[in-house]
Amino acid sequence: MADTLIVNEIFHSIQGEGTRAGLPCTFVRLTGCQLRCSWCDSAYAFHEGRPMSVQAVLARVVDIGCSLVEVTGGEPLLQPAALPLMARLADAGCTVLLETSGACDIAPVDERVIRIMDVKCPGSGEEDHNRLENLDLLRPSDELKFVLTGRADYEWARGLIAQHGLVGRCPILLGPVFGRLSPEELAGWILADGLDVRLQLQLHKLIWDPSRRGV
């Protein structure tokens, strides 16, 4: 339904990723994802959730009172009502972030929304689902994210960044899979190559237990 969402959780926490890491943020996590990344840390959102109207979600966000809002998942763009939700949040004066896998078309997203888009590296097991046409739609206000399992993913990401001339298009974030790739090792590779990217850590997993939900 155009005005109904399946919502996994809505919570107030500290933004753990991206260029706004460390800021208070309200998260709207929607249910459902067509991908099964090897390192996924929110598999509970594949199926768990309850129906809520766009108006009910908006009211809950307004009640929390934090103007930075991220719509995440799962994959939010699988739900048609995510588009009017983000527009309504922007109408309400929120700074709206969309966390998307990059496997769905980002063109219909309201232009006021900051699109944080993954590119799936081979180590995710979902490389074939990258919608590379989205790269041409990125604006300076958007962000591009690579999650890396190891050196092979790093070299693949470095090659794709060069191939598509992505440096300067928008901030580029390279992050290690938590507990699998050492941040120190990734930092060394970035410095050795002089790569113009931002090293990203999942700040919420450093503050709270990595398996904790709702943070």
Model pLDDT for residues 5-47, shown as the tens digit of each residue: 999 999 999 999 999 999 999 999 999 999 999 999 999 999 9
Read off the pLDDT of each residue in 78-97 and give the average, rounded to a whole number.
98
Residue 26 maps to a domain: yes
Q: Is residue 212 part of a domain?
A: no
Alpha-carbon distances of 213 from 27, 45, 101, rounded to whole Å: 12, 11, 20
Question: On the CB side of 119, how many CA atoms lie within 13 Å of its CA?
Answer: 23
Helix, coil or strand: residue 55: helix
CB-CB contact of 109 with 67 (8 Å): no
The answer, yes or no, to whether residue 98 has pLDDT greater than 70, is yes
Residues paired with 51 in a beta bridge = 6
Please state the rounded mean pLDDT for residues 46-71.
97
**Cα–Cα distance for residue pair 5/10, rounded to 1 Å:** 12
User: pTM score, two decimals?
Assistant: 0.95
User: Which residue range(s) make up the domain with 161?
Assistant: 4-207
Helices (H), the chain: 54-64, 82-91, 151-163, 183-193, 203-207
Q: Using CA atoms, how far apart are residues 142 and 170, in angstroms rounded to an integer?
A: 6
Residue 214: the pLDDT is 82
User: Does some domain include residue 138?
Assistant: yes
What's the pLDDT score for residue 210? 86
C-alpha 121/C-alpha 188 separation (Å) is 19
Average pLDDT for 97-122: 97
Residue 114 belongs to a domain with what CATH number? Answer: 3.20.20.70
164 in any annotated domain: yes
C-alpha dihedral (77, 51, 112, 127), degrees to nearest 10: -20
Instruction: Kindly report the average pLDDT of the chain as a whole number.
Output: 96
pLDDT at 85 over 90: yes
Rounded Cα distance, 25 and 71, in Å: 10
Q: What is the mean pLDDT of residues 115-127?
A: 97
Q: Is residue 214 part of a domain?
A: no
Once rounded to an integer, what is the mean pLDDT over residues 115-119? 98
Amino acid at 20: R
